[in-house]
Every structure is written in structure tokens, then in C-alpha cells.
Amino acid sequence: AIVARFAVKPTSSILTPRKSIDKDGNDVEIMTKGRHDPCVGIRAVPIGEAMVACAIADHYLRHRAQTGKGVGP
């Protein structure tokens, strides 16, 4: 088993006014007021798993290129 820990920096609220449209299709300008930072920690787990899988695959391919053999019997 591989145990890994990683930290995720919280995403910030964008306070700059943005152009959008309302439900009727009219142009409007919206702006975030206050702090409404989403929690991306739960969504970060599959990304961390994919990063570890890529690193393991990279090391496996490097080992195979250097030795000419795969891992195991």
C-alpha cells in the first residue's frame, strides 16, 4: 500500500466584476461579495491518485528502459 499526504491551497473568490447574462439573455455585470471559497479538497483526491499513478508508470518505464526487463517474475 502507498500512503501519501498532500496539501491543497484554497481557491480564492474573484472580486473583479465579470460580464454574464441573466435568465432572459440580457447582458449583466456580476461581482462576488464576501468570501465564498469552495472546498476543492474532496475533488483533489482523484487528482492526487492520478499524479501518483503517473509517477509510478514513469518509474516503471524508466526501469524497463534501463534494464530491458519488467518488474516481477
pTM of the model as a whole = 0.57
Using alpha carbons, list the distances in angstroms from residue 73 to 7, 26, 58, 69, 70: 37, 66, 20, 10, 8
Tracing cell 517474475 back to the chain, one arrives at 73
pLDDT digits (tens, 9 = 90+) for 9-53: 877 777 889 999 999 999 999 888 877 777 788 888 999 999 999
Q: Give dist(CA 68, CA 62) in Å, integer.
A: 10
Helix spans in 1-73 (H)? 41-67
Confirm if 11 and 37 have CB atoms less than 8 A apart.
Answer: yes
